[in-house]
Structure 1
Amino acid sequence: MTGSSQISVRAYEPDDWPAVWAMLESVIRAGETYAVPGAFRHPDLGPVDAHVMYRPL
């Protein structure tokens, strides 16, 4: 292996939500992976409401 790679892990911050939602939305809506309330899979659920639901998790 040449060179080096580093991964930085840090705590979630509220400004991270758009990137988190972009990764999770299709997975959560499919309902096949995460055990989440059915409201997460509602077709009208937007990122703002999802964020309110996600924060306590």
Structure 2
Amino acid sequence: MTADLIYSDASELAELIRNRKVSSVEVVQAHLDRIQAVNPKVNANRHTRRRCSGGREGCG
């Protein structure tokens, strides 16, 4: 499902979330994982900050 999420457009993602097939957390996590996987090759992001619910840093 992760590949489906990262290649889906915003309207498809909204529908999946609205129909509770995935959570918004899963969508964001899929994209963060993809960034982590490809960034060493493309060097597009200098730093990616992950935050938990409540604004805490460093979870997951």
TM-score interval, normalised by the smaller of the two chains: 0.3 to 0.5
TM-score (normalizing by structure 1):
0.33
Higher helix share: 2
Higher relative contact order (CA 8 A, sep 6+): 1
TM-score (normalizing by structure 2):
0.32
